[in-house]
Structure 1
Amino acid sequence: MDISLFLEEHQLPESYKDIAQKWFIPLAEDLAEHQIGAKSPYFVGINGCQGSGKSTLCDFLVYYLSQHKNLKVVSLSMDDFYLDQSSRNALAVKVHPLLATRGVPGTHDTRLALKTYEQLGLYGTASIPRFNKAIDNPFPVTEWPVVNTPVDIVLMEGWCWGVMPQAEAALSVPVNTLEKEEDSLGIWRRFVNRQLANHYVPLYARMQSWVMLKAPSFDQVYQWRTEQEHKLAARVGSDHPGIMSDQQIARFIQHYQRLTEHGLATLPAKCDYVFHLDAQRQIQQVEQKREKVVE
C-alpha cells in the first residue's frame, strides 16, 4: 500500500511505512469492520499523554479509512474544546486560580462536545471546533472546518480521554509541588474530579471502542511536551506570546500529572487496543482485548 502522500504531507520518515503496516493498518481494518452495518457514527476514543503521537495516529486513521475504505471519518481532539480565556479566568476567580490554565477536566466545553457528537450523526453539515494554542483561545467559529454529515467514524483523542474519577481518598495527598504549594486544600483537584464524574464520563459512554498509546511513565511527558512546544515555536516564532519556555513547561505539565498517572495505571484494562511505547515513542507491543499480545 502506497502512503507516500501521507508521509510527505506530515513530514514523516520512510520508516513510518513499516510502523503503519505492522501496527496501525490492522487497527484501521478492525475499526472499519466494526463500523459495517452501524446506523450511526462509530465512535472511537483514543488516549495518550502529551506528545505520545495521538494526532499523527488519528491523521493516519483518517487517511487510511477515507482513502482505502471509502469511509467518511472525522477526527476530534479534547484540545479543540477548551474554554476561552475569559471563561477560564471566571472559573479561576469563582473556584480556584489553577483553572485559568487550560488542560484539566473542567476547562473544556463539554456541552459543545455533546452538541458536536449529535450533529455528526444528523443529515446536513457540522462545524468542527478548533482551538488556537498560540493565542490560548478558540479560532473564530467562521474559521472552523465544516463537514457533511452523517459521518461513518468519529475519532476522539485526548490526554485524559477515558480516565475515570479517582476515589476520594486518593485526592488527599499531593502528587507534586504544584498541588502541594498551590492547591494545599485540595479544592482544585476535587473540582477536577467532580467534573470528570459529572460531565466527562457521560461523554465516554458514547465511545464504542478504545485505543491507548501508553507511555512508559509520566517522566517522559516533559521531554515529549518540550519537543511539541519547540515545533510550535518553529512554526509561529519563538517570541510569540503563546509559546512557553522549558521552565514554564515543567510547571505546566504538573497540572496533568495526577490524571496521567491514574490513567496509566487504570485505563489499559478498558481499552481494546493498548500500544506500549518506549522512551523514544517506538511501539514495543500491542495488547488487544481477548487476544494475544503482539510484539
Structure 2
Amino acid sequence: MIDARLLDAVGAFINAHARPGHVPLIGIAGAQGSGKTTLARAAAERWGAAHLSLDDVYLTKAERTAKGRAVHPLFAVRGPPGTHDLGLLEASVAALRAAGADSRTALPAFDKLSDDRRPETQWPVFTGRPSAVLVDGWCLGATAQGEAELVEPINALERGQDGQGVWRRAVNAELGGSYAQAFAEFDAILFLKAPSFDAVLDWRCEQEAGLMGLPPADLPDERRAELVVFIQGFERITRHMLAGGTRAEVTIVLDKDRRPSVRQRA
C-alpha cells in the first residue's frame, strides 16, 4: 500500500510544473528498496503520467563490457553512473513530451535476468499524451563529490577492486558531467531518504526474500552476504546523498518501515 502522502507529493509536483504545451519531467530518487519504483508506478496510474526507470536504460551488456575493458572492469557491472544510456533516456522523454492523444510511444525495457536490454519488439507502449513523465532512479539528483572525498576507499569492494580510485573517480566524473546535465533537465526531483545506510541493506534483503517467496527472517545467510557485496557498488553515492549530496527539491525522510516521517525542502 502506497502512503497517500507520497502520492499527493508527486501530484503536487506535477501540478506545480504543468503549463500549456509542457509535459513536466519529475524524478523520484531513493536507495535500493526505498519504494521509489512502486511509488512512480502508482503515481503514474493515479495521475495519468508515463513512467520510466533508470533501470531500463542501462547500456547493453556488450557496451558495458567494452567500457569495462577501456576504463575499469567494474563498469561492466550495471548500476552506478556511467552504466546508463542517457541518450536513450533523453530520446524517450522527448518522444513522450511530443506525444499526441493517439500516439503510441515505445519505452525502453531491461531484462535483469539476462543482464541486457530487451529487444525493441518487447518494449512496453504508452498510449496517448501523458500528464507528466515520471522517472525513478537510485542516483537521480546526486551531486559529484570533491576530490578529497574520493581518496580513501569506503568498503571492501573499493579496497579490493579499486585500490587506486580509478573507478570511483570515473564514476564521479560521470556524475559531475553528463549526469548533472541530465538531472538539470528535470522540472523537479523528489528524494525518498532512507533513515540510514543500514536500512538499505535490510530493505534490499526484504525485496530478495519476497522474490524467493520467503519471510525476510528466512533469507539464507549466504544470500544476505551476497547482497552485502552487491550494495557496496552503490554505497558511496548513497551515503553522499543521505548526507545532503542531492539537488532534490523535496526530501521525504522515511522510517525503517518506509513510512514518510519528515518532509524537507531543499
Same fold per superposition (TM over 0.5): yes
CA–CA distance in structure 2, aligned partners of residues 79 and 128 of structure 1? 12
Q: Does 1:282 align with 2:259?
A: yes
* The one of 217, 239, 245 aligned to 1:261: 239
Matched, 1:246 2:228: no
Q: Unpaired runs of 5+ in structure 1?
A: 1-11, 67-72, 236-243, 290-295
Which residue does the alignment assign to 2:89? 113
43-52 vs 115-124, greater mean Cα deviation:
115-124
Question: What's the CA shift for 1:25?
Answer: 4.2
CA contact (8 A) 2:7 2:39 kept: no
The 8 Å contact of residues 35 and 152 in structure 1, kept in 2 or not, is answered as no
Is residue 55 of structure 1 aligned with residue 34 of structure 2? no
Aligned residues: 256
1:208 Cα deviation from its structure 2 partner = 0.7
TM-score (norm 1): 0.81
Pick from 223, 229, 237: which aligns with 2:202? 223
- SS of the aligned residue for 1:253 comes to helix
| Cα deviation code 1:111-163 (max 9, x no counterpart) | 11111121112244421111111221122211101224543201111111110
Superposed, 1:78-227 pairs within 5 Å as 78-123=54-99, 124-148=103-127, 150-227=129-206
The structural deviation recorded for 1:267 is: 4.3
Contact 1:40 1:152 in 2 (8 A): no
SS at match of 1:106: coil
Note if contact 2:14-2:24 (Cα within 8 Å) is conserved in structure 1.
Answer: no
The answer (yes or no) to whether the contact 1:119–1:125 under 8 Å persists in 2 is: no
Q: Which residue of 2 aligns with 1:6?
A: none
What SS does structure 1 have at the residue aligned with 2:177? helix
Question: Contact 1:35/1:153 (CA < 8 Å) preserved in 2?
Answer: no
In structure 2, distance between residues paired with 1:197 and 1:267: 12
Q: Helix, strand or coil for the counterpart of 2:191?
A: strand
Structure 1 range deviating more: 89-98 or 42-51? 89-98
Q: Higher relative CO (CA 8 A, sep ≥ 6), structure 1 or 2?
A: 2
| Alpha-carbon distance in structure 2 between the residues aligned to 1:161 and 1:28 | 15
Tell me how far apart the structure 2 counterparts of residues 108 and 233 of structure 1 sit (CA, whole Å): 28
Aligned equivalents of 2:127, 2:29: Cα separation in 1: 26
Q: In the TM superposition, what whole-angstrom CA distance separates every residue of 1:165-187 from its partner, at most 9, and x where no partner exists?
A: 11112111111111111101100
Contact 1:130–1:144 (CA<8 Å) still a contact in 2?
yes
The reply to whether residue 64 of structure 1 matches residue 46 of structure 2 is yes
Gaps of 5+ in 2: 215-221
> CA-atom RMSD, angstroms?
2.0
Query: Structure 2 CA distance, aligned partners of 1:191 and 1:216?
Result: 28
Render the CA deviation track for 1:5-49: whole Å, top value 9, x for unaligned: xxxxxxx4xxx5xx31xx134314413422442422101111100
Going from structure 1 to structure 2, the CA distance change for 1:38 and 1:202 (only over 3 Å counts) comes to farther
Counterparts of 1:155 and 1:180 in 2: how far apart (Å)?
36
Distance of 2:86 and 2:80 partners within structure 1: 12
Cα 1:81–1:29 shift into 2, 3 Å:
closer
SS in structure 2 of the partner of residue 285 of structure 1: strand
Pairwise CA distance, 1:288: 4.1
1:234: how far off? 4.2
The residue type equivalent to 1:276 in the other structure is V
Report the counterpart of residue 70 of structure 1 in structure 2.
none
What TM-score, normalized by structure 2, do the two folds share?
0.89
Contact 2:47–2:131, Cα closer than 8 Å, also in 1: no
| Corresponding position of 2:219 | none
* Distance verdict in 2 for CA 1:210–1:38, change over 3 Å: farther
Distance 1:192 1:35, change over 3 A: same
Alpha-carbon deviation of 1:196? 1.3
Aligned-partner residue type, residue 253 of structure 2: H
**Offset at residue 232 of structure 1 (A):** 3.1
